[in-house]
Amino acid sequence: MADRYLRFTGTAPGRFLTRRLGLPQPAALTRWSPGRPALDGGLLHLTAGRSGLDLAPVLARTGIGPAGSGRAAAVVLDATGVRDVEGLAEMHAALHPVLRPVAASGRVVVLGAPLDPADHHQAAAQQALEGFTRSLGKEIGRGRTVNLVRLTDATAAESTLRFLLSPKSAYVSGQVIEVGAPQETAPADRDRPLAGRTALVTGAARGIGEAVAETLARDGARVVVLDVPQAGQDARRVAERLGGTALLLDMTSADAAARIAETLPGGLDLLIHNAGITRDRRLVNMPAERWISVLEVNLASVLRTTDALLKDGTLKRGGRIVATASIAGIAGNAGQTNYAASKAGVVGLVRSLAPRALEEHGVTVNAVAPGFIETKMTAAVPLFIREAGRRMNSLAQGGLPADVAETTAWLAQPASGAVNGQVVRVCGQSLLGA
């Protein structure tokens, strides 16, 4: 369903009226398209504290050139060398004069260092970056986003910076992303980083799953579109359009993993757990079958198939697991105790499995946590609840399935091997749990 309020605020009368009434003024976001693959404008690189990072080669490969004398579309502040309160003052001095002219739908990325347990002054200063980043994201406006990346090696963050400094990250703001040691080299073709890889996307016949399958195929992956038999017609349509394969099965069935392995004798590179259901009702009114069905689809099937596909080697070394969580699992939501429990369980799975999966199988495990995304399901939500969902984030609008898909595709890249155990909210910096 179209966001009529967003359209209205883009008109001269709409801007005037909403400004006079103090209402939200969302800006139309610049998203990726073949004709607009990069931000409009240049990159401004700033430093606070004494940094040991050599960022120049990495920033040169992000697809956005130096700002020069023109208006900046993005600002990268290297604050990895900030170790005390005086360093935080340097950060203010660097950013204060340059933020106002940053272009609409622009990007601010702050680079921080891991907290040093042996130096509480450094830990305090670096933790301060999180409060700063999230607060700036809530006030910067005009469709601009602010994120914090913690890193120790600049080369390991290339894929993350390319994503955050592009139109692909339009609905990702207020996030803290930790980047570890380099695990993979950059792909030969950065426009098709998934070339030669096989991806399985569950729940891919429609909605967010369809958008994920489409984006992975755009990036070069051969996609297996998995959905329940009842969605067979839609699944086959999506697979045919993307040059992929449809696999019709119920992920809750005991033989789901075996059937996946049988369908993919050459193995699997990307396992995207997107399938999910809702059966909303307050707990006092929720029968056991509504509770069980949601936990079985959203969590138990994810656990079983992940374990089995890792154990039998179907998911190959260098592979990626990306699961779909939800801000409901982070902040909770009335009437969704079952759904929130299942999605919080996905977060727990990611945080526990990620280090072991990387060490034992060479596979990374991450999650995306969507907020209010414009789908057929949210279009059926009552008007006032739908409007609240759209406006209660820093960008004052709902996201699109493509926003979740772009974030998933970034985490799925070979060059994103240093990103592991992360739960990235795709919520426009929701005011709930953010």
Q: Contact at 8 Å (CB) between 239 and 311? A: no
Token pair recorded at residue 22: 């103090």
Contact between 386 and 378 (Cβ < 8 Å): yes
Give the N- to C-terminal CA distance of the chain in Å, as an integer.
26
Measured CA distances, 412 to 116, 270, 387, 424 (Å): 29, 7, 32, 13
For the beta carbon of residue 312, count every other beta carbon within 10 angstroms: 13
State the Cα–Cα distance between residues 7 and 384, nearest whole angstrom. Answer: 17
Catalytic residue among 32, 132, 339, 410: 339
Note the Cα 126 to chain centre separation in Å. Answer: 23
* Cα pseudo-dihedral 127, 132, 135, 141, rounded to 10: -140
Does the annotation count 339 as an active-site position?
yes
Distance CA 222, CA 242 (A): 8
Residues with catalytic roles: 339
